[in-house]
Each structure stands twice: as C-alpha cells, then as structure tokens.
Structure 1
Amino acid sequence: MDSGEPSSNGDIQWCFSQVKGTLEDDVTEADIISCVEFNHDGDLLATGDKGGRVVIFQRDPISKNSIPRRGEYNVYSTFQSHEPEFDYLKSLEIEEKINKIRWLKRKNPAHFLLSTNDKTIKLWKVSERDKRVEGYNTKEENGSIRDPACITALRVPTIKPMELMVEASPRRIFANAHTYHINSISVNSDQETYLSADDLRINLWHLEITDQSFNIVDIKPTNMEELTEVITAAEFHPVECNLLVYSSSKGTIRLCDMRAAALCDRHSKLFEEPEDPTNRSFFSEIISSISDVKLSNSGRYMISRDYLSVKVWDLHMETKPIECYHVHDYLRSKLCSLYENDCIFDKFECCWSGNDSAIMTGSYNNFFRVFDRSTKRDLTLEAARDIAKPKTLLKPRKVCTGGKRKKDEISVDCLDFNKKILHTAWHPSENVVAVAATNNLFLFQDKL
C-alpha cells in the first residue's frame, strides 16, 4: 500500500488517525489554520495559521515502521513566521496570516520552506542541534566575555551532547515586490527559482536574491476600470522548469512557456470550458471563478477547483476537461443565501493523491470529498471530534435535498456553513491525508 493505491475492491476505507489543536469551542481568530503542506517525502507536515505561526509536525518513527503502518505525527517545531505590519503609504494593516507554505527539496540535514503572508515571503531553515561546544578561551560558559588579563592557559574546546533542539531561522526575506495580496507561491523543479502571484502579477525570484524579482505575467490594464479578471492561483510544472499555469476569476487556466518569451503575457495554451447557456444565472460568473489549480505529480494533468466542482484537465487538450466531479451540487438552490453570507466567495483548495489516482477537496459542515478517478466512486467524509478514537472507520455521509430524509442523511438545510474545510493535503506516497477544520488538524489514513 505504499504508493497510495486503492484497496483491492477499488475503495479506500478511511479511518481516524489523530487530531491536533485545542478542544475549546471559543476559537480565537489567530488559531484558525490557513494552509497545510506535506514535504516531499511526507515525513514532515507544516501548517500556517491566521496568527502568523508555522507549526511543523514530524512523522512518528514508530508509526512509520509499525505493521500495519500508522500515519501519526508529533509537534516538531513551532515558530512565529510573520508579524502584523502597517503600510504607512496606503494606511493599510497587513495581516500576519500565512497564505501559503511550500517546502524545498532536501539537500542537507536541514529543511527549508517558504512561507508568505499578503506581502512578504520568507525562506526558513529548520535544523536540529544535539551537541554544544564547551571550554571557549575568550568567553565563559554563560556567554560573557572573559577578561584577557585572566587568560593564563589555552583550553581546547570540547563538543558535548545536549538535549535535541530544533531551531527555525529566517534565511531570506523577499519583500516589496507585490502591490496586491500574494495568493500563491510555487517552487520550480530546478529548486533554484520560485514564483509568487498576486491578483494581477506573477513574479519570478531566485532563492538567493532577495532584492530583485522578474515580473513574468502582468494582466493589469492601463485603466483599472477596464479590469475584468484577476489571477487566483499559480503553479510551476512539477518536471518542466519552463512551464507554469495560472488560473483566473473568469474560470480560465493559462499555460505559459518561459522559453517562448521572457514575458508570459501571451499564453501558450488556454484551458476553458464553454458555458452551458441553460445554467446561466446571476451567480454564474462568481461560481465559475477558479479558487485553486494543481498539476498532477506526473505533470500530465491538472485539477481546477471552482465553487461547485473539481475538473481534471489533460495538458494536451484545451477545449474541455476530461473529468468533472461535483463537490456539492446540492448547494445550487442555496446560492442566493450563500451570496448574502459571503460564503460564495470561499476559496476551496484541492489536491492529488501521490499516484494521481484520486483527488481530495473540502466542503461545508466539516465535510471533505474524495474522488477515485479509476472507479469514479466518490466519498463524503466528515472531520468530526466524535470519531476521535484511533482506527475508527469514517462513515460516508450523505446530504439529502428532498423532503424525506433517511436515517444516515443530513438535510441540506441543516449544514453548518461556518464549519468549512478549505485546506487539505495528501501524503506524497501513502494514503494519509491532513484536513484543516477551523483550528484543528485532522489526520486520516486508509484502513490496512
């Protein structure tokens, strides 16, 4: 079961593994999780929250090697990544909320990750220290400088073991390059450059250079009154370092090739599904806006999430998606009230399983959806505390829209729209998933 393969009957049976976070009902705004990201081997899992903190969890070595394998994680390091700031020129407060975290591939014993709020991207180094040096000549053990007159003999410093310390230190700060709020960062497959995207522009950075970036996409019109769309997400291709995609609020995805021209204002491919005129309504434009786009691990496909569905695109075919999965079609009749309470503007993310055979995305009422691409079966599961016992099997949930409700179903009118799962992540090689529900991080795994 190492490659994220479904079980023999074609279905993964999911069970509860862990939940992290406080139990209290009165959740402070700062504790709400705003992004979740596994690193490349899945041994570390990072979350960012609205209070600007990054918490890194490490796979429990016993759970990794036990038979059957368990997906259990312990807190490894917690640090304050961003502080609230104030833009004096625009008289605007800049929130400390972490918008995105992206891991770099590991090159040495330390781990590196990028984190960003609305304006500033930081490169963090997370390293371990389990030894300390004793016996300096010029300073005492407490760090105070020794009086040179008192030094009568030379000491040879010795290295002594100490309790393991995990240190997070900021190595680079990339600032002042975005007029609008940063919504995406993506590390290139060359592991030397990365992109950052805001509403109207995409910048290309070198990881070693903080004071300059190269603007590769600019969709800002000369007259802002002519503005018709904004960039909602951007990502580099996982294998081809010259390719990137970005999605827009108009429901389109553009593929750009940096070899074709230094400025990618002219796209190489445009992926767009023609609108069905029978479904046209006041909300059509809002619900067709793409909130997230993710290229598959193989690099052949990509998924895009709009308000009601997840679509799978083949990079070789621009005209229409090859698969479409309805996340919560039962909300079509509720769009009016969802517009009034602003939920219609929620930005749901989506993610691929390690071998690209399944897709996961969130919904309301702490529901999340898993779609199996080979069997075309789909599951609605709930991240709820009442199942918080290890190995508890998750019961598939059903939402009913009609008058009569079966025993296990929940009526669409009873859904809690304040409980929403916007951020999910899938382990790169196993069926272990992380789901952020408000201030709690749930971990689920397949029942082996």
Structure 2
Amino acid sequence: MNGGDGGEAAAATAGPPAPLEWKFSQVFGERSAGEEVQEVDIISAIEFDKTGNHLATGDRGGRVVLFERTDTKEHGRNRKDLEKMDYPISRHPEFRYKTEFQSHEPEFDYLKSLEIEEKINKIRWCQTANGAVFLLSTNDKTIKFWKVQEKKVKKISELNVDPSKVCSAASSMVSSSPKQYLSNGSYPDRSHFSSRNDGLPDGIHSLRLPMITSSETSLIARCRRVYAHAHDYHINSISNNSDCETFISADDLRINLWNLEISSQSFNIVDVKPANMEDLTEVITSAEFHPTHCNMLAYSSSKGSIRLIDLRQSALCDSHSKLFEDLEAPGSRSFFTEIIASISDIKFAKDGRHILSRDYMTLKLWDINMDSSPVATFQVHEYLRPKLCDLYENDSIFDKFECCLSGDGLRVATGSYSNLFRVFGCSSGSTEATTLDASKNPMRRQIQTPSRPARSLSSSITRVVRRGSESPGVDSNGNSFDFTTKLLHLAWHPSENSIACAAANSLYMYYA
C-alpha cells in the first residue's frame, strides 16, 4: 500500500505529460499540383482495427481500401521473416496499400422513388480468424459484412509443352492403344495423314496441354452477409459490441441491435420517433457501444445531449440511465444555438470511463460518473463565432467533424477547416493544444497553384494561441482558413501516438 501511495504522489508531482511533437509520416493518394479531385474518390470513413496493424478507409464511390502495417518492430516476427520482407523496417508506424474492393453500388428505391448513394458512411473492424480479417461497412441503408483473406490463385500456365515430351507421350499412347475399328468393321484409312520422320501425325505435334498452377496468392474480399431493409432513415453509425457477437446500427430516429450471424432480422432497442412527426424536436446523430461492458451503449442527439442506456434495464431502451447535457448560459441563446450544439460524433475512451463528443464549436470530455457537466471543454472553432451567418448560408455550419482519443486517454483530436487537425491534452493541468496542417507534406516540393489558397509556413505545426480572430477569414493562429478544404475524418492508433486523417481523396499519417 505504501509503495502504491508513493507512486501516486510521484505521479501527482510530475504533472501533465509534455506536449507531443508531431511529424509527417506518409501519404496515400496525394493529388498532383492542379489536379482536380473526383467526387467519388473523397474519403468518407476511416478506422484502425484493435491491433493497429490494419487501417481501412471508405470513399464516396462505395469502395473500401485496406492498408497494412509494414514496420514490424512490435510484431514479434523473427529475423528470417524480416529478411523476407520486401519493404524497409521503419522507426515509426508505416503502412502500405493492401487491397481494395467495391463494397456498395448506387441503388434506387422504387417504392419511395429515392436514390441511395454508394457512399460509405462508417467502417468497423470485427474479430480476425484464421488469417482472415472481417469488417462491417455501411452506406445510408445497407450494412455489409466482409471477409478478406489470402487465397492461392489458380492460373493456366503456358499451353505449349516441351515438344520432346509431347512426342514421347504421344508415341507411347499410339503404341499402347489397340487398333480402332470403324462402325462397318474395317480399319480407318490413314493415307490422308501426313507423317513426319517419327511416324506421328502432324496433329500430335501441335497438341496443347493446359497446365494449372497455384503458386501466387491474392487477397479476396467476399461479402458474407447483407443486413438490409431495417432503416427508414439514413444510417449514421454502426458499432461492434465487446461480446463479438452483436452490433448496433443507428439512423436519425432508431437504433437496431443485430447478431452478426443473422442478417434476416434485427431488434429495435431505441425509437425516438414521435406519434406525430410535427412534434419531432431532436434526432439521433451518433451511437457507440461501451468498449468493455456489452450491456451499455451511448448515443448523441442534435440537441447536444448524450444518453447512456443499459440493455439490462429494459428490452426497449427509450428511457436512458444517464443524461449528459451541457446547459447553455442564460441570455446567450441565438438562432444558431441549436445548430452548433448538435453533436456530430461521440467516442468512448479505451477504459470506458470517459466519452468524447464533438459539436460544431467544441470538443467535450465527459466522465460517465458525472453527468452534471463535462470535465473538460476544448475550443475548436471559437474564432468562427462572428461568421456563423456566412457559415449558415454556405451550409458549412452543418459539417460533421469526427473526434478521437489516444489509446492512453491523455489526448484528444479533431479536424477543422483548411485541412487542419487539432490535438489537445486532457490530463489534469495540461495546456497542450497543437494545430497541424495535415496536407502539408514536407517531402513534396511545394508548388503554388491558383486552385488552392496560399498558407503561411507557420501553419504546418503551430501552437494554438487562444485569442479571437482579428480579421475576417483568419483563424486563431493568424492563418487564413478555407471552407472548401475540411478535415472531417480522422482516427488515432489504438496503442501508439499515430493519427490517420483524411483530406479530400488523400490519407495523411502523422506520428509523435
């Protein structure tokens, strides 16, 4: 006991960890100067698996792209395995392209005269087994369960075999076979065959024998199950349960519970649809299972609240066990209050003790044992408050930014405009607040193009200075911001300080 107390005292006096120094690692799909980005190539979902050895992205074209980790210092492989690798061992996390497959296609709902986009809304990894990886992907209406594994590819090799072997094989075949009779009992007339010196017909020499080989391996993606026709509204979330058997899917008004093995039916556990749709005041924006307790999940709403529900209390969980809500200051209400209060994403910390939420202006960290107020609030877009009217007119105010936590729970991150992402320290006493330009690749020769706004060099890695903007179009760091470039999707490696973030069609990797 005394030793434990001494350790806690030492930790208390040590203070918060030092701010991390972030460095660029690599980029996939970076566009060249002046290249236009195709709409279907824009990344719309990103997710690490539990080990951090695989990374998946989904795009608006319905494709899922998988990346695998290539630096193997933590993977427990022996020297012989490392010598066989066809890529160098790095000192920081590095990934390479593994495979891609078409997950969803555009559809048309004839009953509702509604087009269903192929855009991937969410990707979630499932348990791996026998060298195969499994994942769930969803568009607005349909969830699919995919299995990706290596299989030997059977190919037909060169058809022309060694002529000497053909001759010897054909000779033995002719000599060993009995004479064939025609239907009238006579022998066939061989006078029309032209023979070579070996006495074999020309047809034998041109004989083609197909040979099948299976030396190469290829990654094959196969759709194992399709979970469809369970949502009337657009699916915004899917989340795996810690029991590895069930998962939830959420749309604007309902949350359904599925069994991975059963695609024909689901169980509705949350339904916030009013009897009269005119009475509708809020919608579900995000939902996630607790990382360790299979009976608990949380979902957020457009009113800025988070509800924690317990599946043990009732089969239909319309009543919550806890409500987390940050009440606004009296007299501060405006036309935009409800819009900017809407939570676009929630994430449980790895230990399950905290929930991170992102609304338009802030990141908030909640302790599930304290529902009165967030334990920490981080200002992300405070400098945009004077421009809310412009943001409303160009629909930017409805952008849905995601958030993520580090594996150790000491830091949180989220995206912003001008392809910036921000990292905040959330341990007690921490003042860490770092802003990085994800698309600023130091290994690329910088070429100014008219299509992209110029940014100052200081915007690559800068410290956040908490002050208001001094001129329109300038953020808290004094850098001009661009609403057309936005970093909506990012993910933190589950066990290391490494962040993958998506800017348009490019995937950028940073580490600290």
Q: Given the two structures, how large is their TM-score scaled by the length of structure 1?
A: 0.87
Q: Report the counterpart of residue 56 of structure 2 in structure 1.
A: 46
Q: Residue 18 of structure 1 aligns to which amino acid in structure 2?
A: Q
Post-superposition CA distance 1:387-435 (Å, at most 9, x none): 2469x995216586125999x9534xx3100110110001111111101
Secondary structure, in 3 states, of the residue corresponding to 2:40?
helix
Q: Show CA shifts across 1:314-368 (max 9, x none).
A: 0011111111111121011111100000000000110011111110100001110
Q: Which residue of structure 2 lines up, in the alignment, with residue 71 of structure 1?
A: 93
| Larger relative contact order (Cα-Cα within 8 Å, sequence gap ≥ 6) | 1
Matched residue, 1:28: 38
1:380 aligned partner: 435
In the alignment, which residue of structure 2 is the partner of 1:96? 118
Cα pair 1:313 1:322 within 8 Å, conserved: yes
More deviation, 117-126/378-387:
378-387
Distance 1:404 1:236, change over 3 A: closer
Q: Does 1:311 align with 2:364?
A: yes
Deviation sequence 1:168-191 (CA, Å, 0-9, x none): 100000000000000000000001
Match of 1:185 in 2: 238
Alignment of 1:343-382 (within 5 A): 343-374=396-427, 375-382=430-437
Q: How does 1:299-448 map to 2 (within 5 A)?
A: 299-374=352-427, 375-388=430-443, 394-396=460-462, 401-402=469-470, 409-411=477-479, 414-446=480-512
Task: State which structure, 1 or 2, has the greater radius of gyration over its C-alpha atoms.
Answer: 2
Is this contact kept in 1: 2:285–2:345, CA < 8 A? yes
Find the residue that maps to 1:354 and give its secondary structure. Answer: coil
The alignment partner of 2:265 has SS state of: coil
Cα drift, residue 11 of structure 1:
1.3
Alpha-carbon distance between aligned partners in 1 of 2:441 and 2:492, rounded to the nearest angstrom: 23
Conservation of the 8 A alpha-carbon contact between 1:110 and 1:125 = yes
Task: Write the letter of the residue equivalent to 2:332.
Answer: N
Contact 2:257 2:268 in 1 (8 A): yes
Q: Confirm or deny that 1:112 pairs with 2:134.
A: yes
Determine the C-alpha separation between the residues in 2 that align with 1:124 and 1:385.
34
Please name the residue that 1:237 is paired with. Answer: 290
In structure 2, do the counterparts of structure 1 residues 181 and 70 end up closer, same or farther at CA, with 3 Å as the change threshold?
A: same
Give, as a single letter, the amino acid of the residue that structure 2 aligns with 1:13.
E
Contact 1:131 1:159 survives alignment (8 Å): no
CA distance in 1, matches of 2:471, 2:405: 35
Shift in Å, 1:63: 7.3
**Superposition map of 1:167-316 within 5 A:** 167-316=220-369
Q: Which of residues 57, 73, 97 in structure 1 aligns to 2:67?
A: 57
Contact 1:63 1:70 in 2 (8 A): no
Pair 1:265–1:9, CA change in 2 (3 A): closer
TM-score (norm: length of structure 2): 0.77
Answer with 7-16 or 395-404: which moved more: 395-404
Deviates more, 1:189-198 or 1:100-109: 100-109
Pairs within 5 Å for 1:133-152: none
Per-residue CA distance 1:65-110 (angstroms, 9 max, x = gap)? 7886222111101000000000001111000000000001223311
SS at match of 2:351: coil
Displacement of 1:290 in angstroms is: 0.5
Structure 2 distance, partners of 1:250, 1:225, is 16
CA distance in 2, matches of 1:373, 1:8: 9
* Structure number having the greater strand percentage: 1
Compare 89-98 and 64-73 and name the one that shifted more. 64-73
Q: Verify: 1:37 aligned to 2:27, yes or no.
A: no
SS, match of residue 410 in structure 1: coil
AA aligned to 2:405 is W
Distance 1:68 1:167, change over 3 A: closer
**Aligned-partner Cα distance in 1 for 2:117–2:24:** 33
- Give unpaired runs (5+ residues) of structure 2: 1-14, 76-87, 157-176, 178-210, 446-456
1:122 aligns with 2:144: yes
Letter in 1 for 2:321: S
For structure 1, the 5+ residue unaligned runs are 1-6, 135-151, 153-157
Q: Deviations over 1:138-175 (max 9, x none)?
A: xxxxxxxxxxxxxx9xxxxx997622311110000000
SS in 2 for 1:279: coil
Shift of 1:438: 0.7
CA distance in 2, matches of 1:122, 1:131: 25
1:142 aligns with: none
Q: How many Å separate the matches in 2 of 1:384 and 1:257?
A: 41
| Counterpart amino acid of residue 478 in structure 2 | I
1:217/1:265 contact within 8 Å kept: yes
Preserved contact between residue 64 and residue 71 of structure 1 (Cα < 8 Å):
no
User: How much has 1:22 moved relative to structure 2?
Assistant: 4.0
CA RMSD of aligned residues (A): 2.7
**Residue 133 of structure 1: how far off its partner (Å):** 10
Cα 1:176/1:70, change in 2 over 3 Å: same
Q: Percent identity?
A: 56
- Contact kept, 8 Å, 1:432 with 1:443, in 2: the verdict is yes
Cα distance in structure 2, aligned partners of 1:404 and 1:300: 40
CA separation in 1, counterparts of 2:155 and 2:352? 47
